[in-house]
Structure 1
Amino acid sequence: MSESVAVVVVTYNRADLLERMLAGLAALDPAPDAVIVVDNASTDHTPAVLAACEIAGLEVLRTADNLGGAGGFHHGVREAYARGFDRIWLMDDDVVPATDCLGVLLAEDADCLMAVREDVAGRLVEKAATRFDLRNPLAIRPKTGMVETAYGERSRMPARVEIENVAFEGFMVRRRVIDVIGLPDPSYFIFYDDVDFALRARRAGFTIWAVRDAVLVRQLDFDQQHDLSGWKGYYMYRNLFAVHLRYGENALVRLKPWLITAAVVLLSPLRGGRREAANVIRAMRDARGMRSVPTRSVD
Structure 2
Amino acid sequence: MTHETVAVVVVTYNRADLLERMLVGLGELERLPDSVIVVDNASTDHTSAVLGAARNPGLQVVRSEDNLGGAGGFHLGVRTAYRAGFDRIWLMDDDVVPAPDCLTVLMALDRDCLMAVREDTAGHLVEKAATHFDLRNPLTIRPKTRMVETDYGSRDRMPELVEVQNVAFEGFMIRRTVIDAVGLPDPSYFIFYDDVDFAIRARRAGFRIWAARDAVLVRQLPFDQQHDLSGWKGYYMYRNLFVVHLRYGENALVRRKPWLIAATVVLLSALRGRRAEADNVIRAMRDARGMRAVPTRSVD
TM-score category of the 2 structures, normalised to the smaller one: over 0.9
Contact 2:130 2:165 in 1 (8 A): yes
Find the counterpart in structure 2 of residue 16 from structure 1. Answer: 17
What is the DSSP-based 3-state SS (H/G/I as helix, E as strand, rest coil) of the residue aligned with 2:271? coil
Superposed CA RMSD in Å reads 0.6
Shift of 1:270: 3.2
Aligned to 2:288: 287
1:52-102 residue CA offsets vs partner (Å, 9 max, x unmatched): 001110000000000000000000000000000000000000000000000
* 1:63 pairs with 2:64: yes
In the alignment, which residue of structure 2 is the partner of 1:157? Answer: 158
Q: Determine whether 1:134 maps to 2:125.
A: no
Q: Distance in 2 between matches of 1:267 and 1:35?
A: 47
Q: Deviations over 1:8-42 (max 9, x none)?
A: 00000000000000000000111000000000000
Matched, 1:255 2:249: no
Q: Determine the C-alpha separation between the residues in 1 that align with 2:225 and 2:264.
A: 21
- Answer yes or no: is 1:6 the counterpart of 2:27: no
Counterpart position of 1:237? 238
In structure 1, C-alpha distance between the alignment counterparts of 2:268 and 2:190, rounded to whole Å: 28
| Number of residue pairs matched by the alignment | 299
Q: Measure the CA separation in 2 of the matches of 1:52 and 1:27.
A: 16
Shift of 1:260: 0.4
Distance in 2 between the 1:180 and 1:74 partners? 15
**Which residue of structure 2 lines up, in the alignment, with residue 144 of structure 1?**
145
Q: Which amino acid aligns with 1:174?
A: R
Between the aligned partners of 1:156 and 1:203, the Cα distance in structure 2 is 29
CA contact (8 A) 1:228 1:272 kept: no
The one-letter code of the counterpart of 1:229 is S
3-state SS, counterpart of residue 125 of structure 1: coil
* Alignment-mate amino acid for residue 33 of structure 1: D
Quote the Cα distance in structure 1 between the aligned partners of 2:134 and 2:226: 21
- Give the structure 1 partner of residue 86 of structure 2: 85
**Post-superposition shift, 1:272?**
6.6
Contact 1:165 1:194 in 2 (8 A): yes
Conserved 8 A contact 1:128-1:163: yes
Amino acid at match of 1:173: I
Aligned partner of 1:53: which letter? A
C-alpha spacing 1:288/1:150, structure 2 compared with 1 (3 Å):
same
User: SS at 2:106's partner residue?
Assistant: helix
Question: In structure 2, what is the equivalent of residue 119 of structure 1?
Answer: 120
Which TM-score applies when normalising by structure 1?
0.99
Corresponding residue of 1:182: 183
Find the aligned partners of 1:56 and 1:132 in 2 and give their Cα distance: 38
C-alpha change, 1:272 and 1:126, in structure 2 (3 Å) is farther
Partner of 1:197: 198
d(CA) in 1 for partners of 2:150, 2:83: 38
In structure 1, the residue matched to 2:42 is 41
Measured against aligned partners, the alpha-carbon deviations of 1:237-290 in whole angstroms (never above 9, x if no partner) come to 000000000000000000110000000111113347000000000000000011
User: Displaced runs of 4+ in structure 1, greater than 6 A?
Assistant: none
Name the aligned partner's letter for residue 116 of structure 1.
V
Could you tell me which amino acid in structure 1 is paired with residue 232 of structure 2? W
Consecutive unaligned residues in structure 2, runs of 5 or more: none
Q: Distance in 1 between matches of 2:26 and 2:32?
A: 8
Instruction: Name the % identity.
Output: 81
**Per-residue deviation, 1:147:** 0.2
Give the structure 2 partner of residue 215 of structure 1: 216
Rounded Cα–Cα distance in structure 1 between residues aligned with 2:44 and 2:292? 34
In structure 1, what is the Cα distance between the partners aligned to 2:57 and 2:120?
Answer: 28
* Alpha-carbon separation, structure 1, partners of 2:76 and 2:180: 16
The aligned amino acid for 1:103 is: T
CA distance in 2, matches of 1:200, 1:186: 14
Secondary structure, in 3 states, of the residue corresponding to 1:283? helix
**What secondary structure sits across from 1:198 in the alignment?**
helix
